[in-house]
Amino acid sequence: MAKQQQGPQEKSQDAGKETITPRAKDYAQWYLDVVKQAELAEHSGVRGCMVIRPHGYAIWERMQRELDDRFKATGHVNAYFPLFIPLSYLAKEEQHAAGFAKECAVVTHHRLKTIDGVVQVDPESKLEEPLIVRPTSETVIWAQYKNWIQSYRDLPILINQWANVCRWEMRTRLFLRTTEFLWQEGHTAHATEAEAIEETHRMLGVYADFAENVMAVPVVQGAKSPGERFPGALESLCIEAMMQDGKALQAGTSHYLGQNFAKSSDVKFLNKDGKLEFPYATSWGVSTRLIGALIMTHSDDAGLVLPPKLAPIQIAIVPIYKSDDEKAKVLQEAEAVFNELKGQGLSVKLDAREGMHPGAKYFEWEMKGVPVRIEIGPKDIEKGSLCLVRRYVAEQEGESEQDLRKRKKAFVPRGEALSGMKALLDEMQRQLYERAKAARVRRTRTIDQLADFERFFKDEGGGFAWVHWAGSAEDEDAMAKKYETSVRCIPLASQIPEAARGEGKCIYTGKPSTQRVVMAKSY
């Protein structure tokens, strides 16, 4: 514990001493080890709240930039709404209030006072109406939309907010489940149902594109079953990713809210026919949970693995020298390489820290998931080559760990190494996606018999089971008790693989079913 909290220089001294629990030994501990040792986040002294450390936050910033660009390209603008939601606002939409009631941080007073030498809450500062720290912002935003919407000409409203939210949690897990987390929440208002439903699907598509092409995480797009819907939504769409342990992780949601929030906030507009109507709403969000998904999709027993598009540092340059004479030459070359790569718009770090063994630097950058390391020593300069070490290569079947390590390292003529760097990073990005997709294929089954289902989840490690389903919420609960599985999503038609198409009979009830769903254990 104490070791992991040391600064980078300090830690270097212990390089190699501290290892990550292998996935095969204890997957949950492996995840926590990666989060800690890659210095992504840690628990704070504040119950259920995490601290996102600089390396973790830098990944979030990259995610934000990529997502924000996509939101703006689809016509959305950002705004900011209050952190606090009056209790009466939350209570307006019944289902919504019920859904969040058990996880609300409530502000009841607005002053402290020193009484008998002790700083405490001033009982005289009690608020007339308690304020809820937003768990989500539908009610407070629609209260404002009431002022902005009178006519169909005011629609659509396409607004997104980047914010912190709070859902009181008893059992927390860094990035995956914490009392406070960071997210974005889109809240749109439309003149017609068709337009709102189209928006719900458009934003699901944006999330899927981001997950697959930026995070290199393949996802299944689908709808939640009724029991799993967002409180107050008519339909909740989601993207589901498979983690390395075969469990599903919900990586983003896009909700069609119908007229529920317009009605509870009494927002009406004059439509083209001159009639008063309630507008149609959507909301959609992704959170810092995505960092958890990123870690559990790509990382390995040596630490974090980052797709180049999200790596805060894409290339780390480590100079190697013994004498002062060598040092001068090597640093000059290292700086030249640094400048050339930076000039290409790549994110490069020249690690010229003194008094630290190169091996300790390798260890640190591997742990932190930097895609490419360049080692530069006197011999490389002589030969006119650069030593490139990739953080990962596509595995080959039956390969020994030593062979794999060899293939990660290559001595490349200097010019070629520099001019080919972007292509190399693109290739690594693609390989990560392919690797994650292959892993998902290996753990995906089309299953028709409950006995096969049981074997898959109890003996074969589980994964995504494409099964016919026509059960009730109670049936789903019964399945959950037996197998710890649930309906992760009812996939969109475009998402269903050839082998899983068509009608059939519910795996649990035997009732007729029109399409298969994805069942899995989940985070």
- Nearest distance, CB of residue 5 and its own copies, angstroms: 4
CB-side exposure of 8: number of CA atoms within 13 Å?
Answer: 18
For its own copies, which residue of 15, 32, 58, 352 counts as binding (CB under 8 A)? 58
- Nearest distance, CB of residue 182 and its own copies, angstroms: 7
Residue 382's SS3 state is helix
Which residues are registered as beta bridge partners of 221?
A: 239
87 near its own copies (CB under 8 A): yes
Q: Cβ closer to its own copies: 14 or 26? A: 14
Helices (H), 282-357: 289-298, 324-343
Q: β-pairing, 315-319 with 348-350?
A: parallel
Helices (H), 385-514: 401-408, 414-419, 421-442, 450-458, 473-483
279 near its own copies (CB under 8 A): no
Q: Cβ closer to its own copies: 21 or 150? A: 150
**Pairwise CA distance, residues 322 & 40, whole Å:** 33
Residues 143-202 binding its own copies (CB under 8 A) are 143-144, 147-151, 153-155, 159, 163-164, 166, 168, 180, 182
**Pairwise CA distance, residues 363 & 190, whole Å:** 52
How remote is the C-alpha of 495 from its chain's centroid?
A: 20
Q: Cβ closer to its own copies: 135 or 319? A: 135
Residue among 219, 302, 304 at smallest CA distance from 254 = 219
Q: Cβ closer to its own copies: 156 or 258? A: 156
Site size toward its own copies (CB under 8 A) is 77
Q: Cβ closer to its own copies: 135 or 246? A: 135
- Nearest distance, CB of residue 100 and its own copies, angstroms: 8
286 near its own copies (CB under 8 A): no
Q: Cβ closer to its own copies: 140 or 304? A: 140
- Nearest distance, CB of residue 331 and its own copies, angstroms: 20
Residues 402-441 binding its own copies (CB under 8 A) are none
Angle at 193 between CA 189 and CA 194, to 5 degrees: 110
CA gyration radius for the chain?
Answer: 26
Q: Cβ closer to its own copies: 46 or 328? A: 46
DSSP 134: P
Residues 96-115 binding its own copies (CB under 8 A) are 97-98, 100-114
The residues, any chain, with a CB within 8 Å of residue 417's CB and separated by 6 or more, are 374, 385, 386, 388
- Nearest distance, CB of residue 471 and its own copies, angstroms: 29
Helices (H), 167-240: 193-213
**Pairwise CA distance, residues 417 & 11, whole Å:** 31
Residues 121-140 binding its own copies (CB under 8 A) are 121, 125, 130-133, 140
- Nearest distance, CB of residue 161 and its own copies, angstroms: 9
Q: Cβ closer to its own copies: 109 or 201? A: 109
